[in-house]
Every structure is written in C-alpha cells, then in structure tokens.
C-alpha cells in the first residue's frame, strides 16, 4: 500500500427509512441511525485508500471513535469525508466528518489495517477470492 497522509474521499447518503434507528434496532426515533452513520464513514475510509492498495490487499477496521452530533431525518443528504492522517506500517488512521449541509452531523477517528485479503479470509474460515479491490 502506497497511500500517503492526506488521501481523502467523500461519499453521500440520502437517508431512507431503512437507514433510521428503528430499522437498525438502535433506537425508536426515525432519524439516521448511529450504526448507519458509522458505516457511511467507514465507506469513505475505504474509498480514500482503494486506489493505493496492491493486488490482493484490503483494509479492515480495528478501532472507531465516533460522535453523532445532529439528527438527520429521512430525505436528508449526509456527506461523509475521510482524510488519511497517519500511516504507520499497515496501520491507517483517518479523521472522518459527516455533514448535512452546513451542520456537522458526526465526526471521529477510524483506524484500519492493511491485510492480505486471501490470508484474512482463510483465517476467518472463509473461502479465498480473486483479490478484487473495493470500488474497482
């Protein structure tokens, strides 16, 4: 993996009923569920480094620190942006920010690790694949 600090990506989500807390079983108010916000932020981290991965590499999440700061109702558009802040061997540390317009809906730090996809799948008891990279 050859990514350098500063690599960035943004992804967007229009909140639908399936993205809400009741759908995720994480609450009873129909706004963007925190687990769905986290998934959106992780999607941005994956996209930020996808162009830099070598054949057979992927990343896996290992640590998350996330503040969910504002509610986003169905129909709201939420943009999550990840910025790679630190690369230490296989360890990647990102800052993530989710915005609904000018409002910061969430922010945090996500750590991922670069792994050999086939070895990781085998260690999890899964069949190996052909090394397909996300987003490609």
Q: Mapped to the 3 state alphabet, what secondary structure does 66-98 carry?
A: EEECCCCCCCCEEEEEEEEEEEECCEEEEEEEE
3-state class of 56 per DSSP? coil
The answer to whether residues 90 and 47 touch, using CB atoms and an 8 Å cutoff, is no
Q: What is the pLDDT of residues 27-77, one digit of tens each?
A: 999 999 999 999 999 999 999 999 999 999 999 999 999 999 999 999 999
Known catalytic residues? 34, 42, 68
Q: What is the pLDDT of residues 94-127, one digit of tens each?
A: 999 999 999 999 999 999 999 999 999 999 999 9
Residues 48 and 84: their CA atoms lie apart, in Å, by 7
CATH topology classification for 8-123: Thiol Ester Dehydrase; Chain A (3.10.129)
Burial of 65 (0-12, 13-18, 19+ CB in 10 A): exposed
In this prediction the pTM is 0.91
């Amino acid at each position: 993996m050859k990514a350098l600090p500063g690599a960035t990506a943004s992804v967007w989500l229009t909140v639908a009923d399936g993205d809400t807390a009741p759908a995720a079983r994480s609450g009873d108010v129909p706004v963007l569920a925190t687990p769905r916000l986290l998934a959106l932020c992780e999607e941005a981290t994956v996209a930020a480094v996808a162009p830099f991965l070598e054949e057979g590499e992927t990343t896996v999440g290992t640590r998350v620190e996330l503040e969910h700061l504002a509610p986003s109702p169905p129909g709201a558009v939420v943009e999550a942006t990840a910025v790679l802040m630190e690369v230490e061997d296989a360890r990647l540390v990102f800052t993530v920010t989710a915005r609904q317009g000018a409002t910061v809906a969430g922010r945090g730090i996500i750590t991922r690790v670069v792994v050999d996809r086939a070895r990781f799948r085998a260690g999890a008891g899964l069949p190996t694949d052909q090394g397909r990279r996300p987003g490609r």
